[in-house]
C-alpha cells in the first residue's frame, strides 16, 4: 500500500494547535499523534510545543498508555478548543531548574504510577533534559509536602520505588515552587504555602 505523506507546510503552532483541538474532540492525543500529522518538523519540536502548552494550562494530561517498549506515553487534551493557538515565547519561561520542575510536574499529572527513571524520561525534551537525579530530588520535595505517595514496598537494595500523585494534590497545571531555601513548598495553583519543616509535613525520600 502506498504511504500517504502529510502535505507540505503542515507545521508551526497554528497547525499543531488545530490538530490538537481536532484530536481532543475524539478523546485526546499523544505527541506522536500530532507529529504524524505534520511535515518538515522534528518530533522534539512538537513535544516542546505540547509541553509548553501544558505548563501554561492550555493542555492537560488525561491518561497513560504503554508503548510497545512498555514505556509510559501520555495522552493529552486541549482544555478549551475555542482559544486561539498559543504562540509561546521561550523567554517567558523560568530558568533551567524551574523548567525541569514544570516538565516533571506535567509528566506526573499524566502518569498513573512512575519511577524516578520513568518520569525523567517522560519529562525530558532536547532543550531541557531531565536527569534521574533531578527527578529524585523533585519527588522527594513533593513527597515531603504530602503531594506524592510511594506505592511499592522496597524489599531489596537498588529496587526502584514507584510513586503516584495523590488526586487531592493534583491542583492544576503549574508546578509547585520551592522557596525559602527549600523549606517552603508554594502551590502556585492554589496560592498556598506548605512549611516543610512543620511536623505534619513528612514523607519518604525517593
Provide CB contacts within 8 A for 68, sequence distance 6+: none
H-helix segments, 62-174: 96-110, 116-123, 132-144
pLDDT band for position 206 (cuts 50, 70, 90) = very low
Give the pLDDT of residue 69.
78
Output the pTM of the full model. 0.56
pLDDT in tens, 188-199: 888 787 878 765
Provide CB contacts within 8 A for 34, sequence distance 6+: 16, 19, 20, 23, 46, 50
CA separation for the pair 80, 175 (Å, rounded): 20
pLDDT in tens, 132-155: 999 999 999 999 999 999 998 777
CA separation for the pair 46, 23 (Å, rounded): 15
Share of the chain above pLDDT 90, in %: 43
Domains of the chain and any CATH numbers: 1-93 (1.10.10.10), 94-206 (1.10.10.10)
Give the pLDDT of residue 141.
94
Mean residue pLDDT across the chain: 83
pLDDT in tens, 11-39: 678 889 999 999 999 999 999 999 989 88
pLDDT(94) > 80: no
Amino acid at each position: 500500500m502506498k504511504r500517504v505523506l502529510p502535505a507540505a507546510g503542515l507545521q508551526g503552532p497554528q497547525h499543531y494547535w488545530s490538530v490538537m483541538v481536532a484530536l481532543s474532540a475524539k478523546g485526546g492525543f499523544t505527541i506522536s499523534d500530532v507529529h504524524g500529522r505534520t511535515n518538515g518538523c522534528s518530533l522534539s519540536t512538537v513535544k516542546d510545543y505540547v509541553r509548553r502548552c501544558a505548563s501554561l494550562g492550555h493542555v492537560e494530561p488525561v491518561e497513560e498508555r504503554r508503548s510497545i517498549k512498555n514505556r509510559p506515553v501520555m495522552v493529552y487534551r486541549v482544555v478549551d478548543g475555542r482559544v486561539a493557538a498559543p504562540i509561546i515565547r521561550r523567554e517567558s519561561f523560568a530558568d533551567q531548574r524551574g523548567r525541569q520542575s514544570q516538565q516533571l510536574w506535567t509528566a506526573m499529572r499524566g502518569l498513573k504510577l512512575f519511577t524516578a527513571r520513568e518520569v525523567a524520561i517522560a519529562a525530558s525534551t532536547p532543550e531541557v533534559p531531565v536527569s534521574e537525579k533531578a527527578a529524585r530530588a523533585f519527588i522527594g520535595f513533593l513527597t515531603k509536602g504530602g503531594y506524592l505517595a510511594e506505592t511499592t514496598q522496597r524489599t531489596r537494595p537498588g529496587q526502584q520505588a514507584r510513586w503516584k500523585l495523590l488526586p487531592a494534590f493534583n491542583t492544576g497545571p503549574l508546578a509547585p515552587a520551592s522557596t525559602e531555601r527549600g523549606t517552603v513548598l508554594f502551590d502556585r495553583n492554589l496560592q498556598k504555602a506548605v512549611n516543610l519543616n512543620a511536623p505534619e509535613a513528612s514523607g519518604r525520600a525517593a
